[in-house]
Structure 1
């Protein structure tokens, strides 16, 4: 048996708590031995869940770094505003990891998703011949965009980052993953903030949904998104995000909507990130890819992918199965994605992809086997730099030629 991996959680909010649950369900594989978070409730809550020694509980991550090493690994789940989010920052992180032999796994969870891996397996096996084009759609979901990118933490570029990086770096990463050794040569992108502006505010609308006389006709009403769920006894995400005091009940939700950011009219927020964007890429050998990020969708996060090849066509809707049409036989084959059916509910984030990420990372650390990590520093750096180039293209309204790998990763 492999050793149990001890972990320090930096950031005990929604994401940090979520990943820490791996230790609850698999105590022989992972043990949370430390937590750092400036918020008392979140910090103490994680300490209680994992029975963490009080000497390993910190209100600032910097204090944890001043201690002698007491954990095998660290989960960094801090807000975007505390991250390094420039191209130079990303290069620095990758170089530091390489120079110090750090085993880094970036949470591009979709690379670990069974449907994504099945697509990769079929493409690498030549199931549709040479890749000519990848068409990939990420539907964010109309109310989800309002929650996260209009009222929520990722609404304002100056406070976090642009939405293509915050939301869709995972999808650009998947396209890179599926393309394999083909390097992206040039990129163009277009997008804008649609609808969620003051000019689209309905006549008679108030500044807050609880006070609004036309709220019932608004699809983005905070009462519809949060209060109706709370009235049914549902206090998980996204309702749990609204109650910043850690107490989730009807009274707390109502008070949060009355005075907090999630009760604001979506047409009177300080949001500036784009709601719809397309990214077009050309890879070595002439292969192309087109990615669409769209806020105004019924679906939430259920990606749709079509890959066109010289000998066939591949299609996957959400979790699969993956369909392959063979041009030669003119027959369609359906490939199951071998999705696990034993994932604990607390690890079902991103349709279970969070579980697969943690499973791979903990195994990699326990076995000292970096090959189990699909999203190491070099692969992730390629993705991030491509996302930055795409955003440069959108802002400068031009085609951007992508620098070679040797120029940014010696």
Structure 2
């Protein structure tokens, strides 16, 4: 690996590229466990967000940068002059389309990398990242946080123990949440495929990843998918909304479930400045800043007048080499927010879970046992914390295997997501082996 192992007494040093919601979530661990890791450098274009983040972590002013390019340049100068990098590892939490250039730049300098999902927004870029990570021989963590929550770790242990026999079918639902979808995929940064990627990739690539993880060592053989942008379009706009283009000017903003006033302004007025309000302004989300954002920015637009184009409902069916089948649903119109509903069917039992608890029924013994794994907080039921904690330990010991995955496995689950979207758009069942061969052949790999 690019670094020697460090003793437990030495904290792993981190550079954070992108200090938004995901960057903050991963960086909560250094604040809670400063003897394990420390943020020593950051890059963030928004001035207030940048300063608040730097102050929270006590980052030296000389290591606070406006752009990732500035951080990269300073790193290059340090490597050249003193033969040392600015940090042990880089957390890449920038917008999805930037992942390729940032990962490639810091991998080339030998940094270990934790990259937020998705790996990249195109097949070609994912393949380039795989090649760069392998060439640099670095620890690589992927923001597939579902793997690392106490809930899913406990569930996965039961699955892989084979105490219920062979896994033959999974039904898995991702209830995105009606106002979460409106926030992120209608008004937000993931609303247009050309500027980010398709919603199955940006929202649910870690669902496909954990499904593949549960079925491993079997691999996907065929995939089909159906879905569309069903609701969030001008054709579905209530007639009572009239010609209003923005929520604060709309006569039905008190009753519309997607009213920006209800989603952002009213919670802030009650003192709730957390997500989603915290993501739409630079700095502290107070009533004045939120009101200004709703009057002039995308988060105040009518969801039926926005220029979004990604699916708000999609079904993916996967056949595995073992003969097992999977049905995955991503849907916007739910009251639950990301609390996955899962049924796993085995030859001698079943597991039914909801991200909070799961019940294991053993057909041979007739016994049903319900498990209540601890939610450690910090996002995704403790998955965010679990990932950064595991990544830091992998960097400290130089052991990629601690993460339970590697860059090629990450790529393979992404390939399944791309294959599913190809099926949806082309209206045909996709042979996964042929799809992978064509993808790698396109780059001469």
SS at match of 2:140: coil
**Which residue pairs with 1:108 in the alignment?**
144
Do 1:242 and 1:256's aligned partners in 2 also have CA atoms closer than 8 Å?
yes
Query: What is the aligned counterpart of 1:229 among 253, 267, 274?
Result: 267
**Which residue pairs with 1:14 in the alignment?**
21
2:90 matched to 1:74? yes
Query: What is the aligned counterpart of 2:156 among 93, 112, 120?
Result: 120
Do 1:127 and 1:324's aligned partners in 2 also have CA atoms closer than 8 Å?
no
Q: Residues of 2 paired with 1:48 and 1:334: CA distance?
A: 44
**Which residue pairs with 1:27 in the alignment?**
34
Q: Residues of 1 paired with 2:240 and 2:405: CA distance?
A: 49
Greater shift, 228-237 or 13-22, is seen at 13-22
Q: Residues of 2 paired with 1:247 and 1:286: CA distance?
A: 52
Which runs of 5 or more residues in structure 1 are unaligned? none
**Which residue pairs with 1:290 in the alignment?**
327
**Which residue pairs with 1:54 in the alignment?**
61
For 1:89-168, list aligned pairs within 5 A: 89-168=125-204
Q: 1:404 deviation in Å? A: 7.1
SS at match of 1:32: strand
SS at match of 1:240: helix
Q: Residues of 2 paired with 1:375 and 1:262: CA distance?
A: 37
Q: Residues of 2 paired with 1:384 and 1:398: CA distance?
A: 19
Query: What is the aligned counterpart of 2:387 among 346, 357, 375?
Result: 357
Q: Residues of 2 paired with 1:70 and 1:224: CA distance?
A: 44
**Which residue pairs with 1:317 in the alignment?**
354
**Which residue pairs with 2:45 in the alignment?**
38
Question: How has the CA–CA distance of structure 1 residues 107 and 254 changed in structure 2, closer, same or farther, with 3 Å as cutoff?
Answer: same
**Which residue pairs with 1:182 in the alignment?**
218
Q: 1:65 deviation in Å? A: 2.0
Query: What is the aligned counterpart of 1:219 among 234, 257, 269?
Result: 257
Q: Deviation digits for residues 325-352 of structure 1, max 9, x if unmatched?
A: 1222222122343x26xx4xxx611222
**Which residue pairs with 2:247 in the alignment?**
209
Q: 1:21 deviation in Å? A: 2.0
**Which residue pairs with 2:407 in the alignment?**
377
Which runs of 5 or more residues in structure 2 are unaligned? 1-6, 80-84, 101-120
**Which residue pairs with 1:242 in the alignment?**
280
Greater shift, 271-280 or 196-205, is seen at 196-205
Q: Deviation digits for residues 119-144 of structure 1, max 9, x if unmatched?
A: 22112111221111011010000111
Do 2:52 and 2:283's aligned partners in 1 also have CA atoms closer than 8 Å?
no
Do 1:131 and 1:308's aligned partners in 2 also have CA atoms closer than 8 Å?
yes
Question: How has the CA–CA distance of structure 1 residues 380 and 226 changed in structure 2, closer, same or farther, with 3 Å as cutoff?
Answer: same
Question: How has the CA–CA distance of structure 1 residues 125 and 247 changed in structure 2, closer, same or farther, with 3 Å as cutoff?
Answer: closer
Do 1:108 and 1:375's aligned partners in 2 also have CA atoms closer than 8 Å?
no
Q: Residues of 1 paired with 2:24 and 2:398: CA distance?
A: 25
Q: Residues of 1 paired with 2:131 and 2:434: CA distance?
A: 16
Q: Residues of 1 paired with 2:388 and 2:203: CA distance?
A: 20
Q: Residues of 2 paired with 1:358 and 1:158: CA distance?
A: 30
2:213 matched to 1:197? no
Do 2:20 and 2:279's aligned partners in 1 also have CA atoms closer than 8 Å?
no
2:308 matched to 1:271? yes
Question: How has the CA–CA distance of structure 1 residues 405 and 115 changed in structure 2, closer, same or farther, with 3 Å as cutoff?
Answer: farther
SS at match of 1:134: strand
Do 2:25 and 2:378's aligned partners in 1 also have CA atoms closer than 8 Å?
no
**Which residue pairs with 2:109 in the alignment?**
none
Larger relative contact order, structure 1 or 2 (CA cutoff 8 Å, min sep 6): 1
Q: Deviation digits for residues 223-273 of structure 1, max 9, x if unmatched?
A: 111111011011111011122x31321121112111111111010001000
Question: How has the CA–CA distance of structure 1 residues 335 and 351 changed in structure 2, closer, same or farther, with 3 Å as cutoff?
Answer: closer
SS at match of 1:307: strand
Query: What is the aligned counterpart of 2:423 among 388, 393, 402?
Result: 393
Q: Residues of 2 paired with 1:362 and 1:141: CA distance?
A: 32
Do 1:36 and 1:58's aligned partners in 2 also have CA atoms closer than 8 Å?
yes
